[in-house]
Amino acid sequence: MTSIIKNQIVKHLSKFAKNITPDQISLDVLKGKSELKNIVLNEEVLTEVLELPVWLRIRKATCNRVAVKIQWMKLKSAPIELFIDEIQVDIILTAEKPPPKKKGASLNALSAMDTGSYGFANKVVEGMSLYVNTLEIHFDSGAFGGSFMLSRLSVDSRTPGWQHPHDLRHSRISCPNTNRTIMYKQISWQLLRIEASAHNEGESAQRNVINAPLRLITSNGRIRIALKKNSTDGNVIHARIMMILEDILWVATLPQLQSAIAFYSHIMKLVKASQGFGNIEVLLPARTPSSLAPSNHATETGLAPNKNFAVFDFNQTSYHLNVKKIDLHLCDDAHSPEVYPPQWDIESGAMQVTLHTLLIDVYPKTPAAADRSKWVRYASPNPVTTFLEQNLKHHFARLIENTVDETTRVRLTRIWPQLMSFNVVFRVLDMSVQCVSDMQTKRDSLFNLFESDSEAKRKFPGEQFVLHAEFANFFHPMSDSLPVPPPLTHVQFGPFSLLFDKRTIRWILYVAHHLTVALSQVEAPDMEPLPVTDFKLDLLMPKVILRLPDPSSDSRLPHRLTVSLSTLSISNRSTEEQNHFTLLDTHLMDYLHGLALPSGKDILRSDLLQLNSNMTVSGLEEGDQLWLSSSPMWVETDHGPDTRGLLLITDVPLKASLTIRKDQLNVFVEPQTTLSAIVDHFQLLQLLRLSDDISKFADLLSTDQKFLSKGKTSDTPAPTVLLVAALAQAKVHLLLTHGPMPSPYEACPAINEAINTIDTNSYSGMSQKRR
């Protein structure tokens, strides 16, 4: 009996494994236990099952030990457990043409297992639990190599609340009214390690002789999978897949980033080379007629789902990434002074970026104007949904206006509600970026270049993300020829504070130059130009801080200059309010005509004349016109954090336009109210010193650029920047005092001294009278 069962196991497993014999199997039928040792998997079948791209090929796959445990009397309530000790997979990345595949052998057996019905055997297989001690995948491409390692990998069933079920039947929810079933599985691991490196020149291609400059390690990750299936035939209708990662720490040096760029270029070359092989046939299981039926509830029974099922129901496929915390450390490990520009004072600089609660959500196919109440951790309505709704109405109205044929208008009106969109949502709950530090930087000298304002976030209703970005691409599901709106991008950023730190800016430009050089040296594949999108950026309560020159000589000198706004909006789609400037008249044009500008005067006047028109500026690509509008802006000085500021410029809202050309940038700014400034003696001193300091810093950046370019001159000249600020009225109050200004909210020292003198004299007189 045992030998017969072993032979049957060998017969079925031989489709997936090589050279398997009954001697490799130990079997205890009554206890439901079986064990296989030293299995060599069939790489061709694995490639077909995993549907790997043609440039990625499995060379060898082995498994040293597999154990199976089946509780025959509890198949409905207890899962079949599969234990694997170690899996080793070798993969090659190649541009060679794959060998022809044998038809009719491998996956046709899988097709025979698909009977078109969904019964007890299917549920038993879906409820299986898998436990892998170690999974190692090594890849090699000649120039590069690396590994992917997972330890303590497990795949098991979960309840809708993602707990371990006491009964396997609690891991799925069914609705007889709609013939739908939702099942829950979780993939978890204890440690994930990814390494990639370039082979050392002159050495063999063995993995143990290559270095590993790129390394990413994370622990305690899991993937939660919810599958909505047709309970009649078992076909998957929708899926919700969420990857959850704990803390990620990545320390990257500048050479490592350059190596990553080279590795990316190498992969892109392989992908491009493999495109010439044509379509590779993949033998998939045959679809039954029932699997091709529509998946709407109404097509099954016409009944609504029951209440318990409706709580966990979802009506679209989505993918999600949730990372609790990310610590990125970018380091410059160069120690030779010859590679640094003159007057360089940053030795082995490092910069830290910390992200708290990173969320990425992808919805491949969702109705463009549908309600988003079922989206994961998403509050609707919000400014993004409002902008999307306005954008869709605007483009539909323009399509109807530009359509002459009445039949086409009727068709557009009928199919417009069926418009679908591909959505990506990117959110960060909290974020901080430290200024660059080096080996001599002390802990109390560390400041944040960028920091979200936690106190201001608490004033917002609900959960406020410091970064909320959404990208939407529209399409019609039934036709590719129908007009659709352009892609949409909306970014909401804030509240935050940004520190103007000269050392950090200088170091960032130094790193950016080396990365730019690395990108220019690789042969990047030809990419299609990005489509023009309707773009809007909303900054909430931004604050820019400039540290003033050393005020230690006098305690009355302010330490910082702060520019604050409530909101700032930037968009490439204008509205009637945005594209109307009251001060753009003939007097301003005549004034600009009389100016002796170095270059670009005629283009500037032409662009400004067209700003108040409903048409876009001529001679521009679509999207090269930006419109800015802000709430009242104010500028003040203070003596450091947690000190009261002294107002410098009172509240003034702004409107602006940016006209972007290849060789010229024209900026027009118009305050909406009277500009009022109050400057005292000490503020004026610091402002003059700040102006001189910024001028010297600009010269230093120019020197750095010349040093890094090694005397090479660019073929394209630097663009001309022209700024026009039109002020209807400005009031400037200059207070030249020799001491601190008396305030009605503070006690004046001179008055206090006089009062104290009076009180002392009065007390003395009263004492003499008593005597």
Amino acid at 753: E
The DSSP annotation for 665-721 comes to EEEEEEESS-EEEEEEHHHHHHHHHHHHHHHHHHHHHHHHHHHHHTTPPPSSPPPEE
Percent of the chain at pLDDT > 70 equals 80
Beta bridge partners of residue 247, listed in sequence order: 325
Measured on CA atoms in the order 503, 506, 508, 514, is the torsion positive or negative?
negative
Q: What is the dihedral of CA 584, 590, 591, 597, to 10 degrees?
A: 110
Beta strands in 553-709 (DSSP E): 560-565, 567-571, 625-630, 633-638, 646-652, 654-660, 664-671, 675-680
Instruction: Give the CA count within 13 Å in the CB-facing half-sphere of 337.
Output: 4
Query: 284: pLDDT confidence band, cut at 50, 70 and 90?
Result: very low
Q: Are 637 and 648 in contact (CB under 8 A)?
A: yes
d(CA 630, CA 653): 6
Amino acid at 621: E
The count of domains in the chain is 1
Amino acid at 36: L
Residue 251 pLDDT: 85
d(CA 714, CA 729): 42
d(CA 22, CA 255): 52
Query: 493: pLDDT confidence band, cut at 50, 70 and 90?
Result: very high
d(CA 94, CA 274): 8
Residue 82 pLDDT: 87
Could you tell me the end-to-end alpha-carbon distance of the chain, in angstroms, rounded to an integer?
126
What is the mean predicted confidence (pLDDT) over 621-627?
A: 72
**pLDDT at residue 621 is higher than 70:** no
Percent of the chain at pLDDT > 90 equals 25
Residue 241 pLDDT: 93
The Cα-based distances of 47 to 12, 39, 44, 58, 548 in angstroms read: 18, 17, 5, 7, 63
d(CA 403, CA 583): 36
- The burial class, CB within 10 Å (0-12 / 13-18 / 19+), for 119 is exposed
Q: Where does 348-405 have alpha helices with state H?
A: 383-402
**pLDDT at residue 280 is higher than 70:** no
- Beta strands 236-253 and 318-331 are parallel
Q: Are 319 and 375 in contact (CB under 8 A)?
A: no
Query: 716: pLDDT confidence band, cut at 50, 70 and 90?
Result: low
Residue 105 pLDDT: 47
d(CA 162, CA 187): 11
Which of residues 765 and 199 earns the better pLDDT score? 199
Residue 207 pLDDT: 39
d(CA 631, CA 55): 53
What is the mean predicted confidence (pLDDT) over 162-168?
A: 91
Beta strands in 176-234 (DSSP E): 180-198, 214-230
Q: Which of 130, 323, 305, 318 is nearest to 225 (CA)?
A: 318
Q: Are 154 and 130 in contact (CB under 8 A)?
A: yes
Residue 177 pLDDT: 84
* Lowest-confidence pick of 30-44, 521-535, 558-572, 647-661: 521-535
What is the mean predicted confidence (pLDDT) over 667-682?
A: 90
- Chain centroid to Cα 737, Å, comes to 51
Segment holding 251, helix H or strand E? strand 236-253
Q: Which of 307, 46, 266, 39 is nearest to 177 (CA)?
A: 307
Which of residues 365 and 25 earns the better pLDDT score? 365
Residue with tokens 């120019």: 702
Residue 356 forms part of a structural domain: no
What is the mean predicted confidence (pLDDT) over 282-302?
A: 44
Amino acid at 769: K
Q: Which of 623, 620, 621 is nearest to 610 (CA)?
A: 620
Residue 761 pLDDT: 54
Residue 265 pLDDT: 78
Residue 505 forms part of a structural domain: no
> What are the residues whose beta carbons fall under 8 Å from the beta carbon of 616, sequence distance 6 or more?
610, 622, 625
Residue 713 forms part of a structural domain: yes
Residue 187 pLDDT: 92
pLDDT digits (tens, 9 = 90+) for 316-328: 899 999 999 999 9
* Lowest-confidence pick of 214-228, 557-571, 726-740: 726-740
**pLDDT at residue 747 is higher than 80:** no
d(CA 329, CA 313): 41
Residue 598 forms part of a structural domain: yes
DSSP 8-state secondary structure symbol assigned to residue 476: B
What is the mean predicted confidence (pLDDT) over 227-248?
A: 89
Cis status, amide bond into 487, omega within 30 of 0: no
* Residue 21: both structure tokens together: 């014999």
* Lowest-confidence pick of 98-107, 436-445, 562-571: 98-107
DSSP 8-state secondary structure symbol assigned to residue 286: P
Q: Which of 639, 632, 634, 642 is nearest to 683 (CA)?
A: 639
Query: 212: pLDDT confidence band, cut at 50, 70 and 90?
Result: very low
Segment holding 305, helix H or strand E? none
Beta bridge partners of residue 151, listed in sequence order: 134, 191
d(CA 757, CA 610): 70
What is the mean predicted confidence (pLDDT) over 301-306?
A: 68
Residue 592 pLDDT: 82
pLDDT digits (tens, 9 = 90+) for 384-410: 888 888 888 888 888 888 877 788 788
Residue 296 forms part of a structural domain: no
Expressed as residue numbers, the domain containing 627 is: 546-612+622-726
What is the mean predicted confidence (pLDDT) over 80-88?
A: 89
Query: 699: pLDDT confidence band, cut at 50, 70 and 90?
Result: very high
Q: Which of 496, 518, 487 is nearest to 258 (CA)?
A: 518
d(CA 761, CA 425): 74
Q: Where does 282-344 have alpha helices with state H?
A: 307-312
Segment holding 722, helix H or strand E? strand 720-725
What is the mean predicted confidence (pLDDT) over 12-19?
A: 71
Residue 283 pLDDT: 43
Q: What mean pLDDT is reported for the chain?
A: 80
Q: Based on C-alpha coordinates, what's the Rg of the chain?
A: 34
**pLDDT at residue 299 is higher than 90:** no
